[in-house]
Amino acid sequence: MALSGIQIYKLLPQTNCKDCGFPTCLAFAMKLAAKQAELSACPHVSEASKAQLAESAAPPIRLVSLKSNGFEVKAGNEVVLFRHEKTFYHRPGLFVKISDDQPVETIRQLAAAVEAYSTNYVGIDLNLDGFVLLSVSGDADCFAGSLAAVRSVSHKPVILSAASPAVLEAGLKALDGERALIHAANAENWEVLASLAKDYSAALAVQGSSLDELADLTEKIKGKGVEDLVLDPVADSMADWLALSTQIRRLALKKNFRALGYPLISFADNAEEAVQGITKYAGFIVLPEFAPETAYPLLVLRENIYTDPQKPIQVQPGLYEINNPTAESPVLVTTNFSITYFSVANEVEGSGLPAWLLVTDAEGMSVLTAWAAGKFDAERIAKAVKAFNVGDKVNQKRLVLPGHVAVLSGELEGELPDWEIRVGPREAVDLPKFLKII
């Protein structure tokens, strides 16, 4: 938990020597509390105070990052329980589980499919994050061979999961220069796994079915010098997982309880459990299998939940084609607030009638809000018509304004003299009817 200026002052030499550049130690302490100064500016502070101050400045949930050639997946550093309080920061990595007891060719194909998977949502490319290689065989060579098959087609980060430390080590050896996650330390094996994590600079997952058990293990492992830990709360139901993840998040954020201040990993048995991981605090989510029709909604949901509530999702401004429009189809105008765009695009699409949809840059605001804020006016609309060469796409130059901004039509006729300005319905739901008669 962050210390106040006064608490920090008590840890400083209190000599007012001015070597830090501030007139007094108290002034310096206040600047430190406000994060406007660095402790290193004080040449006289004791090592003990330094340690204490560093500890207090650490985030309540440690940032753990997995790295491989060209990829990085981060989890942790979250600051709220509910997204509306600020935002959730690090999208939980979605990792696909691969068992090592399958033919190498099967593994290679699955890894290639995961590697290749990409989908587009409101102009954002969404991808899966990596693999969990699970030792079912219990055989180190088989594990390493499976890992080589994955690495032959993908360089995305991996999580190595095995009961045997020797198997894990075989995997780690093959991942030179990467930062993998090994899974999982428990009451029996934690010492061996901690030294493996240290030797190969890997992150370490800690498994336990109660808070006591988890906290006990993390403290012991931290004592061995391994700090990049991930918690795997073993739950026997969705209710149980929700209880554990909520308790851990609360303890970390509200009590600054360091022993549980780590990101979580969730082994989902199905898409429903993955949804719970996305909404309720998982930092890494393991999917039991790869299927595009499941990956797509989960990636979209993750994008939605991790959107900053202060900054709505925006659609790329531009000219969108709906139902294969021709030179005779009307041009509808709207803003680049994603919900506005979707309402309009959905209705037009559902109508089956062709239209051009001109999405203007209204800084992500809806029609009325943008109009009130001066971000959706005749000038901006005219600019978009020109910027996206809309005039070249149609013979019949008909521009349809949202009904809510009918007031803009006069001014827009002035800006676009060779266009016919029409006023459409106020609500998107009335567009199909409107398109039939236009």
Residue ranges binding another protein (CB under 8 A): 82-84, 117-121, 211-212, 215-216, 219, 235-240, 242-243, 246-247, 250-251, 254-255, 257, 259-260, 271-272, 275-276, 279-280, 291-298, 300-301, 304-305, 307, 309, 338-339, 342, 346, 349-350
| Smallest distance from another protein to CB 436, Å | 14
Nearer to another protein, 82 or 418 (CB): 82
d(CA 3, CA 62): 18
The two three-digit tokens of residue 362, written as one number? 């209204």
> 124: helix, coil or strand?
strand
| Smallest distance from another protein to CB 264, Å | 15
**Cα 341 to Cα 124, 334, 358, 367, 374, distances in angstroms:** 15, 7, 10, 10, 19
- What is the SS3 string spanning 38-66? CHHHCCCCCHHHHHHHHHHHCCCCCCEEE
The two three-digit tokens of residue 217, written as one number? 């293990």
| Smallest distance from another protein to CB 230, Å | 18
∠ CA 17-22-23, rounded to 5°: 65
Nearer to another protein, 352 or 414 (CB): 352
| Nearest residue to 232 (alpha-carbon basis) of 198, 255, 195, 203 | 203
Nearer to another protein, 114 or 147 (CB): 114
| Smallest distance from another protein to CB 321, Å | 12
| Smallest distance from another protein to CB 85, Å | 10
The two three-digit tokens of residue 318, written as one number? 């531009």
| Smallest distance from another protein to CB 269, Å | 10
**Cα 263 to Cα 93, 136, 225, 230, distances in angstroms:** 11, 26, 18, 5
d(CA 184, CA 207): 6
Write the DSSP assignment of 205-264 as a string of letters: EEEESSHHHHHHHHHHHHHTT---EEEEE--SSHHHHHHHHHHHHHHHHHS--GGG-S-E
Nearer to another protein, 24 or 304 (CB): 304
| Smallest distance from another protein to CB 263, Å | 18
Phi-psi region of 436 (alpha: psi -120 to 50; beta: other; left: phi over 0): alpha
Assign 3-state DSSP to the chain and report helix, strand, coil percentages, each to 5.
45, 20, 35
Nearer to another protein, 327 or 429 (CB): 429
The two three-digit tokens of residue 74, written as one number? 């981060």
Nearer to another protein, 191 or 219 (CB): 219
Place of tokens 């055989």: 139
Nearer to another protein, 296 or 397 (CB): 296
| Smallest distance from another protein to CB 212, Å | 5
> 122: helix, coil or strand?
coil
Nearer to another protein, 183 or 280 (CB): 280
Instruction: Write the CB contacts of 411 (distance below 8 Å, at least 6 apart in sequence).
Output: 377, 378
| Smallest distance from another protein to CB 404, Å | 15
- Return the beta strands (E) in 59-179 as ranges: 64-68, 71-75, 93-99, 118-121, 124-127, 130-134, 158-161
| Smallest distance from another protein to CB 204, Å | 18
Nearer to another protein, 303 or 413 (CB): 303
Nearer to another protein, 116 or 327 (CB): 116
